[in-house]
């Protein structure tokens, strides 16, 4: 009979400190997500700019200046013009193909003195 009473009053589930640990871990994961998501969103905007430059039939692909001006306008429209500068863009032309490579890094504050960042590289080849 004593054993039945003890089992009846046993704790079930998490204690208060256990819940605090679960909430802290969940909060850290959410903070990380909200810091990383904008970086990848901007990366996909830069990628869409490169794809639109690749598909633009009216663009003179032999002129680096024309390519950069077109990219600059599209980067401004997508509001990522502060991420990608002329120094981040490498262009080369070989065998009738123009290769455009965009390489940039981005950082954001994380917790205290820590930061979170990423390095992004995207390349397109225009064959005309």
23/10: higher pLDDT: 23
Looking at residue 109, the DSSP 8-state letter turns out to be E
Tell me the C-alpha distance between 84 and 15, whole Å.
Answer: 49
pLDDT band for position 81 (50/70/90)? very high
Distance CA 104, CA 69 (A): 18
- Given a cut of 70, is residue 5 above it in pLDDT? no
| pLDDT tens per residue across span 86-119 | 999 999 999 999 999 999 999 999 999 999 999 9
Beta-carbon contacts of 74 under 8 Å, excluding residues fewer than 6 positions away, are 49, 52, 53
Residues 39 and 34: their CA atoms lie apart, in Å, by: 9
The whole-number pLDDT of residue 9 equals 63
Tens-place pLDDT, residues 23-67? 999 999 999 999 999 999 999 999 999 999 999 999 998 999 999
């Amino acid at each position: 009979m004593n054993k039945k009473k003890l089992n009846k009053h046993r704790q079930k589930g998490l204690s208060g400190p256990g819940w605090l640990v679960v909430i802290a871990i969940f909060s850290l994961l959410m903070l990380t997500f909200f810091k990383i998501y904008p970086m990848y969103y901007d990366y996909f905007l830069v990628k869409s700019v490169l794809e639109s430059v690749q598909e633009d039939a009216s663009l003179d692909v032999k002129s680096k200046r024309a390519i950069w001006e077109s990219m600059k306008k599209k980067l401004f429209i997508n509001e990522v013009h502060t991420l990608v500068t002329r120094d981040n863009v490498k262009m080369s032309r070989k065998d009738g193909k123009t290769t455009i490579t965009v390489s940039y890094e981005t950082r954001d504050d994380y917790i205290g003195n820590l930061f979170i960042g990423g390095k992004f590289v995207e390349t397109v080849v225009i064959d005309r």
